[in-house]
């Protein structure tokens, strides 16, 4: 056959329609999508929240799918086709400027989200997410939070139920006064951690690193002087801990580490085990202990074998 513009065009059309038929039309009519066991219908308010999510361009920075290769970034569960029944339009997204939100429900309690949406810098000081305080005035923040808390379906419901259960206890402990609150907080720290001193010497370098980490992760809630009066505080209940309430009882470096690592579910205190390497948690613990609590238990001998990168341990 002689190649002419019309033959070329015909050929292109045949290739295009064949791939359309095989890649799009055939699957659309033959795929039998059954919902996964975590899937559930959204409630009315969650559905409204979804439209607010779409209208505000959240998909521009947040994906809603987790791939097998994401096990390496701490995924909880890999997305399955049955998780997306009835999603039209789907909100998979392709950008991950912010974290994936497909399992966001119950990760934080509602009060954390209120503070975060008013201004993400309140809870996450170095965030580049834009503030959405205007949604509060328009009465749109509540449905948006309901939607975000539904992400993950029945797994999200399980986590939300756990948040609410612990919140009741945390509020009761907070309202019983500072001593009862500290007692409650520490009753959930396993014994060996309560006894463990901070194994990192509170050297000027450790404290300087701790200061930087505190500014990058903690200052919006616990405040620049550790009194719990950061800008997030008005939205959060029980409020961020005032570290000076620990002055009388004192607290081990191990207990601080445990709380920072795991967070306190039911309160806005997030876990930092995915964000901060172990040394950073010890460093920020030294910083909080030295400057806000006034009781530092690090620098204890014997220290074991020093890490290979450590220079001479100059102490404060």
Q: Which stretch binds ligand HEC (CB under 6 A): 20-28, 64-72, 74-82, 98-106?
A: 98-106
How far apart are CB 44 and ligand HEC at their closest, in Å?
18
Residue 193 interacting with ligand HEC (CB under 6 A): no
Residue 288 interacting with ligand HEC (CB under 6 A): yes
Residue nearer to ligand HEC on the CB measure, 98 or 199: 98
Residue 252 interacting with ligand HEC (CB under 6 A): no
Residue nearer to ligand HEC on the CB measure, 58 or 202: 58
Q: Which stretch binds ligand HEC (CB under 6 A): 6-14, 27-35, 66-74, 123-131?
A: 123-131
Give the CB-nearest residue to ligand HEC.
98
Q: Enumerate residues 261-280 that contact ligand HEC by CB under 6 A.
A: 264, 267-270, 272
Residue 201 interacting with ligand HEC (CB under 6 A): no
First CA to last CA distance, the chain: 87
Two structure tokens written together for 269: 């205190």
- # binding residues, ligand HEC (CB under 6 A): 53
3-state secondary structure the chain: CCCCHHHHHHHHHHHHHHHHHHHHHHHHHHCCCCCCCCCCCCCHHHHHHHHHHHHCCHHHCCCCCCCHHHHHHCCCCCCCHHHHCCCCCCCCCCCCCCCCCCCCCCCCCHHHHHHHHHCHHHHCCCCCCCCCCHHHHCCCHHHHHHHHCCCCCHHHHHHHHHHHHHHHHHHHHHHCCHHHHHHHHHHCCCHHHHHCCCCCCCCHHHHHHHHHHHHHHCHHHHCCCCCCCCCCHHHCCCCCCCHHHHCCCCCCHHHHHHHHHHCCCCCCCCCCCCCCCHHHHHHHHHHHHHHHHCCCCCCCCCCCCCCCCCCCCCCC
Q: Which of 185, 201, 289, 296 binds ligand HEC (CB under 6 A)?
A: 185
Residue 56 interacting with ligand HEC (CB under 6 A): yes
Binding mask 10-39 for ligand HEC (x = CB under 6 A): ------------------------------
List residues near ligand HEC by CB under 6 A. Answer: 53, 56-58, 60-62, 97-99, 101, 104, 107, 112, 120, 123-124, 127-130, 132, 144, 148, 170, 174, 181, 185-186, 217-218, 220-222, 232, 236, 238, 240-241, 246, 251, 255-256, 259-260, 264, 267-270, 272, 284, 288
């Amino acid at each position: 056959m002689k190649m002419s513009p019309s033959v070329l065009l015909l050929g292109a059309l045949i290739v295009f329609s064949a791939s359309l038929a095989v890649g799009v039309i055939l699957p659309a009519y033959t795929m039998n999508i059954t919902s996964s066991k975590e899937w559930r219908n959204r409630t009315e308010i969650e559905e409204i929240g979804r439209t607010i999510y779409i209208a505000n361009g959240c998909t521009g920075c947040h994906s809603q799918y987790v791939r097998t290769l994401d096990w390496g970034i701490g995924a909880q569960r890999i997305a399955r086709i049955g998780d997306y029944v009835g999603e039209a339009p789907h909100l998979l997204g392709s950008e991950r400027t912010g974290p994936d939100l497909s399992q966001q429900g119950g990760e934080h309690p509602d009060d954390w989200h209120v503070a975060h949406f008013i201004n993400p810098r309140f809870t996450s000081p170095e965030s580049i997410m834009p503030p959405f305080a205007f949604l509060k005035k328009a009465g749109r923040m509540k449905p948006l939070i309901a939607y975000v808390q539904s992400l993950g379906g029945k797994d999200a419901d399980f986590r939300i139920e756990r948040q609410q259960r612990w919140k009741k206890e945390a509020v009761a402990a907070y309202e019983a006064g500072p001593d009862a609150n500290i007692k409650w907080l520490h009753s959930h720290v396993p014994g060996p951690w309560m006894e463990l001193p901070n194994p990192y010497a509170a050297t000027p370098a450790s404290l300087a690193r701790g200061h930087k980490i505190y500014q990058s992760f903690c200052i919006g809630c616990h405040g620049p002087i550790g009194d719990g009066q950061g800008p997030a505080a008005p939205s959060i209940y029980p409020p961020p801990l005032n570290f000076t309430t620990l002055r009388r009882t004192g607290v081990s470096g191990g207990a601080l580490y445990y709380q920072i690592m795991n967070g306190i579910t039911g309160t806005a205190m997030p876990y930092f085990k995915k964000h901060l390497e172990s040394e950073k948690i010890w460093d920020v613990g030294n910083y909080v202990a030295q400057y806000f609590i006034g009781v530092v238990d690090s620098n204890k001998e014997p220290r074991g074998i020093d890490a290979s990168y450590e220079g001479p341990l100059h102490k404060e």
